[in-house]
Every structure is written in structure tokens, then in C-alpha cells.
Chains A and B, each alone.
Chain A
């Protein structure tokens, strides 16, 4: 009992059905719609012939162009490496000091290292390489393991307390938690350590602290407190502190110990990239300490 009616506004007929007051016109599909259906289908059809598209039983249609994304990536990596080779070969061949002296090469190293450092190092050491609580600054001449180019290359390669078989290993013992020193002894030695970098403390406290220091700390940090790059033990006589140089922070350090770590970069960065970072850090250090 469909009753077709004509919509006075458009002149089109309804389909004759009605639902809760809603009706539909039987307007024909506009030509533009069919045109765009045709265009999009034609485009798809052309691409199906050109590109890998349809699965078959054991393979797929390869397409006339013979393109595959994996080959494309392999090729573009080869091309990109070849384009960089003119200067990366020189980075590989030249000693760090020579690269630092080569203005044109340094410009390439610096603008490359910005991204390398930003994506791999800045997360801990900060975008300006100045470090932060728990992470040493790389923009000064105070180094845990040594700041010469070869040592830096090695630290980058193996990491500190990392998973690499040759990793550098270093640990500050938990003197308080493990019961080696009592709380008062820790306070005393902390005061003594602070006096090494110029804090004023009473003489008898200094003497008591020196005794504790000699028995517990000097083996790594040295008799004079200047630390050791052999063991990665920090210098205690300067104003540079990784975990803070105030009495409370030092108490925590001595009581609970510290075991910072740095990842090994051998698996993630190429030797060239690690050398670029080394040169970059040498340059930062040079500028910061001038």
C-alpha cells in the first residue's frame, strides 16, 4: 500500500513509505556521485596493476612497477650513506684533535651531533650537556672516567654498570644501610668531606672525620679526596656534585650508597656516530672551560 506522493519543494516523488513521520524521496543518484565513483575506482584499478596488491595462494601480484617497500628502504639507506661518506670517512680517518681543528668538518659534526646527542644522551645529561641531579655534567673538565677522546670513546662503547661484557664497573657502598658505619660516624665523615671543598668545621671533628675517611673512603676516593678515574670515583675536593653536596644529600649518599649507570652504546650507535659524539663533547668541553 505504498502511496507515492510528490514533494512540492523539489518536485521529486517519495518512495511511498513513511516511518514515524519520516519519508524519503526517490531522487536519482546525482551524476557527480557516479562520476567520482568511477574516478576513485579507476585510480584504484590503475594502482592495482602498478603496485603489489592482491594475495594469491602462495604469493601476491607484484605489480608492473616491481616496487617493494623493503627494497626501497634498503636502497635509500645505501644512497644516504654514500651521500654522507665524503665527510664521515674523514671523521673515521682523522684523529679527534685534527677534526676539532677543521672548521668545515666541525660544522658537519656539530649539526649532526645535535640530533644524536638530543635523542640518545639529552634524556639524562640534558640538552645542554650540563647534567642534573644524578647525572654528571659533560660540559666541564671534571670526569669520572677521564675526559680524553679515547677514554670517552671507550665509555660510550661499554657503558657504566651496563650489560656490556667489558662494562666499566663502579659502586659507592651503602655504608649506613649495610652496617659498616653508624649514623654519627656518617655525619662526621660527611662534615669532613664537606671540609675538603672548603666548608668550615671544628678541628676535632675534622680529625675524627679524617680517621673514618682514611679507613673507609680513601681506597677509592684517594688519600687527598681527589678521586680516581681508574675506579670512576668522583673528586670530593671540588664544587661539583652528582647527587648534591649539602649535608643531607651526602648523608643519603654515604648511608644508602650510589650506583649510577650509563647504557652501552655499541649496539645502538655506529663507531662513527660515537666518534661524532666524542668530538662534539670535546668541543663543548673546550668552549666551556676556555
Chain B
């Protein structure tokens, strides 16, 4: 890998690593009485590993090949493997915390392993670790292919990928040490947040510069979605994490917002993290890998426009539906509710566009588990967006809010949509990326598909039952006009569903582990094959895939 970097680039990478290591040293020195000090050591160790990996190869000869003749895929390869490692780690954490809810003794009486600390390791592990790395890796692949242009720089993609993973490591290790700013999906403290801003701006610059170099007159839809993901996540991240550190010698900070404004900012962030991280970016993935795998044209370009602008416009307004029946003023709730319902049609237009694209390729869906992953992902995307709009209606939310129904809804989206489209894309991508004939084992892909589907269905049904039971018990009154059930009564009623949920999650985890194994075996054991036409070129040289009607 290092042989593709020029000596100048290698030196540059070492200098960046040294600077990062120096910041780690500053953190370790300033925060030696605090968890921030431990983070300083982690940053230093990470930077040292990067530094010495490059330093060991510094005296290799300059690259001989012509850069313009190929895409730069090394960061994509590493990103896919890292994404799969995070998938297994993050999903294991999920199974563990699910089991803790059913059997609380699995905390083993330690502080670091308590539910409140492990749960964000799970959520950040799967959303940012698995999802984020899968998004970054696939975006590197897609932006080059759909622009028919190589990335403008070879150090920047490494900086983005490794810098992002440093953020993930600092985040996850902070949670187990009790470092959190108590904002859901925005738990990392101020120094981690600042670092992510640097990484994210680099990502945006890389993406825009690649697009600017494109050899295509138009920008493909997948890139719209990836750009929306990068741009809006930057805005969300910066605004929601505005905070004043209590001291530059420690991790603790205080949010710039207070009270209901804080809650509203948090859920504007939280809901749009779902919209632009977990939806927009993955729609970019879907828009490339699904038509590519099905070898069918996108059903409707016009529908793409309608759904893209609909999603981008309406989602931003919908966050207040997380705060129905709270101190938030009624008018903000009405706005959130109505925009959530108007959002449904553009969302379904996306899912419909994906499924209609499969017309003429349904036999492939039947035979090819990789394409089936993507098809089922589109179905779950449609289901969970419908459910989301429905739950945003105030009276429905009165039943569903604070219950496991919400948890089930989130996992229908996260497992059924986000994870399945990622796995489908990875199976489609891995042979191309590593120049292999095929995946190592198609049977293993089938196993993964059915385990993932069964796990998701068990999980979601368990949480629907649990959540609706819980919601109804909370609002059941005796004939005396007082509440029928205590909170403990609801826990007793929910226990069987908690066991079922942990089991569903376990199936999903086993599937992910099989997927990881399969990708590694593909890299190690499948014979090489270079795909045709997979290099930057001017568009005139290529014929469209759809044959002309005669």
C-alpha cells in the first residue's frame, strides 16, 4: 500500500502523525488528573502506530505506475475491513446490553460495564464505527467511479479515514471511563468534537475536489446524497456540540444551551443524524450498488429529484416530534408532527424508486443474496419511514413515546435498512475492490442474509410487543381512577420480550461475524481477476449499459 505513496506524501503523513501525537502529549500533560489524560495517551499511541507504519516504508522506491490510469482504492479497502471490525464489536456490545436488560447481573458489578456506559459504546460502535466507516469507504469508491476521476490527493483520504477512526476510539473509550456530555448520539466531549470538525472538513474538501475533477457532465444522484450527508452532518455536529469546557485540563464541558432549547437542539441534531447520517448517506450507497448489481437503469430520475429534495427539506423540520407532550411549546410540536407526515411521501418515493428499479431483475433477487440484501433493505427503509411518520403523530406518540416501540422502530431502520444495505454493498464491492473473481463463499452470504433477516424480524416484533404492552400498562386506570400498574409490573411483563430481543440481536451478530470471515477469506484465498473498464477515463469511450432499442 505504502508503495503507491510518493516519498513526499509519506513524509507528509509522518508529519501529520507527529502533530497528532504532539496534541496527544499536550492532552496527556494537561489532563493528567482526568480521563482526558488517558485519552491523551490513546491519541499518542494511535499517532505512533501511524507514524511507524509509514516510517518503516519510507525508503521504498517512488511509485512507478501512472496515477491517472487507476482509481485510488487502498483507503476504501482498509475502510471496509475497519467497518466490519466495528460491526462485530458494536453488535456484540448491543447483544451484551440487551442481555443486561434481561439479566442485570451481566453487569458483573463493575462501573465500566454498567448499562449506561456500554449502551453508547453499542450505539456509537454501530452507527459511527460500522455505519460511518462503511459510508466513508463506499463514498471514496463511488465518488471516483461516478466521476470517472481519481481522488486529487493520496494523503487526504487516509487522514479522513484514520482521523475518523481516532475519533471513534476516543469516543468509545471515553464512554467506559464515564466521559460523556449526556447528549444521545453526541456523547463525546469537546476535544473529540473539535477533532471531528477538522476531519469532517477534510472529508468535505476531498469530496468536492474529486467531483470538481470529474469527467462526467452531470453529477450522479448517489453523490447528491453523500454530499448532503457530509454537509448537513457538519452543521448538526457543530451546532449541537457548542459547549464551554469547564477547564482545558479536563473532559467536562457545559452545553451552550439550557432547558427546552437544549432539548430542542439535541433532537434537531438527533433526528437529523437519523436523516443525514443513517438515511441520506446510505441512500447514496443504495443508488450506486443496487442498479449496478441488478444491471438495471434507475426507475425514474424525476422521482429521484422529488425524493431527494423532499427528504432534505422536510427532515430538518421534524426533530421536535421527539419532544411531544413535553415542556416544548405546543406550536413546535405541531410543526414537527405535520412535517414528519409530509416527509413520508418523499421517503416512500425513494424506497419505491429502488424497488421499481428491480423490475426486470427479480430473478436476480431470488438467486443472488447480495442483491436480496439491498432489496430487503429498501423494504425496511419503506417500513421504518412509514412507522416513523406514524409515530410522529401526537396521539400515537402518546402511546409509543418512552417505550420499547421506539427502540424497535430505530432497530427496524438500523438493522433492516442501514446494516442490510451496508452488507449488500460490501458483498458487491469486495470482489471489485480486491480484484477477486467472486466472494469466497456464496453459501455464507446466504447464511448471513437469513440470519440477519431472522434476527431483525425477531428483534422488531419483540420490541413492538414489549413497547405496546408497556405503553398500555402505563395508561391503564383502575375503576377508582388511579393507575393500575407500577413500573416494576411493566418490567415483569416485558422480560420475555427482552430475552427474545437479545436472541434476535445474537442472530444478527452471528451473521455479521460470518460476513467478516467471508470478506477476509475472499481477500486471502480467491483467485485474482481485474474487472474491465474500472479506471478513470473520458465518458465518450464508454457505451451505456442499457442496450438501445432497435
Q: Which residues on A are within 8 Å of B, measured CB to CB? A: 1-3, 5-10, 14-15, 17-30, 33, 36-37, 40-41, 43-44, 47-48, 51-55, 60-61, 63, 67-70, 80, 83-84, 87, 108, 111-112, 114-119, 122, 127
Chain A's closest residue to B295 (CB) is A21
Q: Is B335 part of the contact surface with A, judged by Cβ < 8 Å?
A: yes
Contact of A27 with B146 at beta-carbon distance under 8 Å, contacts A14-B544, A52-B334 already known: no
The answer to whether A33 and B349 touch across the interface, beta carbons within 8 angstroms, is yes
User: Complex Cα distance A40/B346, Å?
Assistant: 11
In angstroms, how far is the closest chain B Cβ from the Cβ of A16?
A: 8
Residue of A whose beta carbon sits closest to that of B303: A29
The reply to whether A115 and B544 contact each other, CB–CB distance below 8 Å, is no
Give Cα distance in the complex from A43 to B345, angstroms: 13
CA distance A28 to B303 in the complex (A): 7
Q: Is the CB of A25 within 8 A of B148?
A: no
User: In whole angstroms, what is the CA distance A142 to B511 when docked?
Assistant: 57
Q: Contact: B299 with A27, CB < 8 Å? A: yes
Distance A52 CA – B216 CA, assembled complex (angstroms): 48
B259 adjacent to chain A (CB < 8 Å): no
Q: Which residues of chain B in 353-385 are interfacial with respect to chain A, using CB atoms and an 8 Å cutoff?
A: 359-360
Supply 6 further A-B pairs (C-beta < 8 A) apart from A18-B542, A41-B342.
A5-B548, A14-B297, A23-B545, A25-B300, A61-B331, A118-B486
Cβ–Cβ contact A22 & B220, under 8 A: yes
**Are B549 and A6 in contact, with the CB atoms below 8 A?**
yes
Q: Which residues of B contact A112 (CB under 8 A)?
A: 478, 480, 482
Residues of A within 8 A of B545 (CB): 18, 21-23
Judge whether B482 and A22 touch: CB under 8 Å.
no
Q: Which of A18, A61, A68, A127 contacts B544 (CB 8 A)?
A: A18
Contact between B333 and A24, CB atoms less than 8 A apart: no
Kindly state whether residue B86 has any CB partner on chain A within 8 Å: no
> Could you say which residues of chain A place their CB within 8 Å of the CB of B484?
111, 114-115
Chain A residue nearest in CB terms to B339: A44
Contact code string B527-550 (vs A, CB < 8 Å = 1, else 0): 000000100000110101111110
Please list the 3 inter-chain residue pairs (A to B) with the smallest Cβ-Cβ separation, ordered nearest first.
A118-B486, A44-B338, A27-B300
B217 at the interface (CB under 8 A from A): yes
Q: Is the CB of A40 within 8 A of B342?
A: yes
Residue of B nearest to A52 (CB): B331
B248 contacts the other chain (CB 8 A): no
Decide yes or no whether B330 CB sits under 8 A from chain A: yes
Q: Are A20 and B145 in contact (CB under 8 A)?
A: yes
CB closest chain-B residue, reference A28: B302
Closest CB in chain A relative to B296 CB, distance in Å: 8
Shortest B390–chain A CB gap in Å is 12
Which residues of A have CB within 8 Å of B220?
17, 19, 22
Chain A CB count within 10 A is highest, among B335, B485, B540, for B335
Name the contact of A26 in the complex, choosing from B292, B301, B349, B533 (C-beta under 8 A): B301
| B339 touching A23, Cβ below 8 Å | no
**A40 close to B300 (CB less than 8 A):** no
* Cβ contact within 8 Å between B330 and A69: yes
Tell me which residues across on chain A come within 8 A of B334, comparing CB atoms.
47-48, 51-53, 63
Contacts of B298 in A (CB 8 A): 22-25
User: Measured between C-beta atoms, what is the minimum distance from B86 to chain A in Å?
Assistant: 27
Check if A67 sits within 8 Å of B330, measured CB to CB.
Answer: yes
Nearest to A22 among chain B residues (CB) is: B291
Say whether B325 faces chain A, with CB atoms less than 8 Å apart. Answer: yes
B487 and A118 within 8 A (CB) = yes
A-B residue pairs in contact (CB < 8 Å), sample of 27: A20-B288, A21-B542, A21-B544, A21-B545, A22-B220, A22-B297, A23-B545, A24-B297, A24-B301, A24-B304, A26-B302, A30-B303, A30-B352, A33-B349, A43-B341, A44-B338, A44-B342, A52-B331, A60-B331, A108-B480, A111-B479, A112-B478, A114-B485, A114-B486, A116-B482, A118-B487, A119-B486
Residues of B within 8 A of A15 (CB): 301
Q: Which residue of B lies closest to A11 (CB)?
A: B549
Q: Which residues of B contact A10 (CB under 8 A)?
A: 359-360
Judge if B56 is at the interface, Cβ distance under 8 Å.
Answer: no
Q: How large is the interface on B (under 10, 10 to 19, 20 to 34, 35 or more residues)?
A: 35 or more
Q: How far is the CB of B48 from chain A (nearest CB, A)?
A: 39
B344 within 8 A of A: yes
Complex alpha-carbon distance, A83 and B481, angstroms = 7
**Closest CB-CB distance, A271 to chain B, in whole Å?**
16
Q: With A5-B549, A7-B549, A33-B349 in contact, do A84 and B481 touch (Cβ < 8 Å)?
A: yes
Determine the chain A residues whose CB is within 8 A of the CB of B525 once the complex forms.
Answer: none
| Closest residue on chain A to residue B360 by CB atoms | A9
Separation of A20 and B220 alpha carbons in the complex (Å) = 10
Residue of B with least CB distance to A127: B488
Q: Is B489's CB under 8 angstroms from A111's CB?
A: no
B288–A22 touching, CB < 8 Å:
yes
Distance in Å from the Cβ of B351 to the closest Cβ of chain A?
A: 12
- A108 CA / B478 CA spacing, docked (Å): 9
Pairwise interchain contact A25-B301, C-beta atoms closer than 8 A: yes
Query: A116 to B333, alpha carbons, bound, how many Å?
Result: 31
Of all chain B residues, the one with the shortest Cβ separation from A6 is B549
Let me know if A7 and B306 touch, CB within 8 A: no
Give the CA-CA distance A87 to B288 in the complex, in Å. Answer: 67
> Nearest A residue to B549 by beta-carbon distance?
A6
A68-B549 in contact (CB<8A): no
Q: A44-B339, A44-B342, A122-B486 are in contact. Are A33 and B292 (CB under 8 A)?
A: no
Which residue of B145, B479, B546 has the most chain A CB atoms within 10 A of its CB atom? B546
B329 at the interface (CB under 8 A from A): yes
Across the interface, do A29 and B480 meet the contact criterion of CB distance under 8 Å? no
For residue A16, which residue of chain B has the nearest CB? B544
Minimum C-beta distance from A97 to chain B (A): 21
A interface footprint on B286-314 (CB within 8 Å = 1, 0 otherwise): 00100110011111111110100000000
CA distance A141 to B74 in the complex (A): 76
Pairwise interchain contact B331-A55, C-beta atoms closer than 8 A? yes
With CB as the reference atom, state the residue of chain A lying closest to B218. A17
**Given A1, A9, A115, which contacts B486 in the complex, CB threshold below 8 Å?**
A115
| B304/A33 in contact, CB under 8 A | no
Task: State in angstroms the CA–CA spacing of A289 and B226 once bound together.
Answer: 71
Q: How far is the CA of A28 from the CA of B339 in the complex (A)?
A: 25
What chain B residues lie within 8 Å of A80 (beta carbons)? 481
Residue of B nearest to A123 (CB): B488
A19 touches which of B146, B338, B345 (Cβ 8 Å): B146
Determine which of A20, A29, A67 lies in contact with B306 in the assembled complex, contact meaning CB atoms within 8 Å. A29
Residues of A with C-beta under 8 A to B205: none
The interface residues of chain A lying within 8 Å CB-to-CB of B482 are 84, 111-112, 115-116
Report the bound CA distance from A170 to B547 in whole Å: 90
Q: How far is the CA of A53 from the CA of B333 in the complex (A)?
A: 8
B244 contacts chain A at the CB level, 8 A cutoff: no
The answer to whether B481 touches A17 (Cβ under 8 A) is no
Once the chains bind, are B486 and A117 in contact (CB under 8 Å)?
Answer: yes
Determine whether the beta carbon of B345 is less than 8 Å from that of A3: no
Could you say which residues of chain A place their CB within 8 Å of the CB of B478? 108, 111-112
Which residues of A are found within 8 Å of B235, using beta-carbon distances? none
**Contact check: which of A18, A53, A127 meets B338 at CB < 8 Å?**
A53
Q: Say yes or no for B201: interface residue by CB 8 A criterion.
A: no
Provide the residues of chain A in CB contact with B544, threshold 8 Å. 3, 5, 14, 18, 21, 23
Q: Is the CB of A28 within 8 A of B300?
A: yes
